[in-house]
Amino acid sequence: MAETEKPAAQGHHPSRRNKILLGILGILVTIPVIAIIFILTFDWNRARPWINARVSEAIERPFAIRGKLDVEWERPARTMAPSERSWRDHIPWPHLIANDTHIGNPAGLPARDAGSARQFSFSLNPFALLSRTIHIPLLRFDGPRIDLLRLDEKRNNWTFKRQDKKSGWTLDLDRVVLTDGIVHLEDAVTKSDVTARVRTLERDARYGVGWTLDGSYNGAKVSGGGKAGAVLSLKQQSTPYPVQADMRSGATHIAVEGTVTRPAKLAAIDLRLELAGPSMDQLYHFTGVVLPTTGPFSTSGRLTGTLGEENSRWVYDGFKGKVGASDIGGRLEYTTGAPRPKLSGKVSSRQLVFADLAPLIGADSNAAKKQRNADVLQPSGKVLPVEEFKTERWNKLDADVRYSAERIVRDTAFPISKLSTHLKMNNAVLDLEPLEFAMAGGTVRSNIRLDGRGRAGPKAIKAQAKVTARKIEIKKLFPKIEQLQATVGSINGDASLSAQGNSVASLLAGANGELKTLINQGQVSKMLLEMMGLNVANIIVTKLFGDKQVQLNCMATDFDVRNGVARTRYFVVDTQEALINISGSINLANEQMDLRIDPKTKGLRLFSLRSPFYVRGPFSQPDVSVDKGVLAMKAGSAIALAAVAPVAALIPLINTGPGEDSHCARLLAESREKPRAPPPGKTR
């Protein structure tokens, strides 16, 4: 009996399984059918208060559907290009239509609309609800108005609070369609009040909507316009979305044209980008990228990029342009991510006009400063630049950029040719390691660090500079001084300085360190030495019979810099025929010089009026004067002796010098042991 029941019991299993499968299938079919029936028969206007409350709670700002809320059936394919359609797009979906929709500002901002739409509608895929997915094939805005508002760096109405708790539902949005509308921006940070008006383009094969722009930005008029595709596809990676824009704000010009593929994730951006303006740093509010202060510029290149969940990457490749009268080109890459975004790349110039570097340190003219809207103009009579560095932006970006210039053009005789530097910025610390120039046949190599982390107070930057100069040829260093063109010899030097300040002027005004130079062998123009010694007869002889070379034993300088005042520890020039000692100070704070030049000739000099002379006064207009007391004493002695014996009157005008046994090493040793005090008298 048991044996006969067992097969029978087993025989019931397939039917049970079939019933279970049919039940599950029935449920799967019934749920969307019930959902469709519910969507079609439910009076959605009764749900408006509940929807308004739930949405307001979720976005933490007022939300209201004030008009009629209705549902219609619509095939998504009706509004799509044939190339974008799939078989699902031919299936009618329920289409929810909300009229007169408004969204307000968050708490702490003026109580007014942040956005509104004459009609807001979207289609809904009910089958996707089974997998807890809100699939919206099409989202349409008719007559939208968006009012963007920012009161300061932290308060705006376009930032929504991110939910830390992950939702169990997924939003899947395919396409967005825009019709005529308005976007208005009021921004206290950039002092902007800009309005964009969007319109539908009826007969444009490439673009479906166009827009115009007008208003003001940072006190300057803003104008422009552009075009975009009618349907913004957020999922089709093979369907590029066309964009074109041309905007101007004062002298700043930005133009783009190209495509964006899968805009929701910016899977592929390929744009032709043109930029122009009075200074690159003024692009900060447009791009968020910290760039240096420059003169007028223009560039054109290809911008590609991708936007990831954790970081984004933008590449400005093959760009070419001009900064001032200099050419510029290269490749820059901008990546986002922790702890800060980073800018890296290589930039070069075939020809650099040296004056175009002046805006980097605020050394350009006041006329140029006005053109680039500088905050501070250079005071009259002040030589060292007073314009402050914008250190408040330094912690917004890290950088690793190399720059080089093959040829340098100068409007003065300053003998500098090639330039190269490696700029690195890390957590508001700027390093130039190295900054290298080819100068007068030699090289000047600097390692400079500007620490901008201490941004509070007037002394915003801690600066350190180490400079080495090697094989600087004297005659090339001063190409316009005729008397030096017969000179042979080169200069080597070292400097080490530290300071605190927020501009070139304030940094040098508080500088501490030392500066040393040395010429240990060479030849120098005798004519120049005779002129420095005021040896009248020898100047005449040199003029009549030509210049000649004098053996240079050495020239050595050693300046001690304390609190912006550079004082000579020694400054000695020793040649075969003359010995020159220079003493005094150079005040970098008040830009005053007070130097005594004491020349002594070696051997016999006839009719020598040699006496100390001084270089005094401001950097902008120094004064060179002879020690009139010593000169008067010599002239007076000659006149008195002439009354007794005419030949004897020549004695005060004859100079025998210190002799021929002076040696450079001994002179330097004496200078170190007995540093000369600054000359008496007040600086003018």
pLDDT at 536 over 50: no
Work out the percent of the chain whose per-residue pLDDT is above 70.
67
pLDDT score, position 92: 74
What's the whole-number mean pLDDT along residues 142-165? 83
pLDDT in tens, 565-600: 999 998 887 877 777 788 999 999 998 989 888 877
- In 180-283, where does DSSP find H-type helix? none
What's the whole-number mean pLDDT along residues 662-674? 53
Longest dimension (CA), the chain: 168
**CA atoms of 272 and 277, how far apart (whole Å):** 17
Instruction: For 161-192, give the secondary structure using H, E and C.
Output: CCCCCCCCCEEEEEEEEECCEEEEEEECCCCE
Q: What's at 75, amino acid-wise?
A: R
Provide the sign of the torsion angle of the four alpha carbons 380, 382, 387, 388, taken in this order: negative
pLDDT in tens, 25-78: 666 666 666 666 666 666 778 888 888 888 888 788 899 999 998 887 777 666
pLDDT in tens, 206-227: 888 898 999 988 777 889 999 9
pLDDT at 318 over 90: yes
Beta strands in 229-277 (DSSP E): 231-233, 240-249, 252-261, 268-277
Spatial CA neighbour of 634 closest among 650, 645, 658, 647: 650
**CA atoms of 656 and 417, how far apart (whole Å):** 44
Whether this prediction's pTM lies above 0.85 is answered by no
**CA atoms of 317 and 314, how far apart (whole Å):** 9
**CA atoms of 325 and 330, how far apart (whole Å):** 17
Tell me if 452 sits within 8 A of 428, measured CB to CB: yes
Lowest mean pLDDT among 114-118, 177-181, 394-398: 177-181
Phi, psi for 541 (deg, rounded to 5): -60, -45
Instruction: For 284-309, give the secondary structure using H, E and C.
Output: HHHHCCCCCCCCCEEEEEEEEEEECC
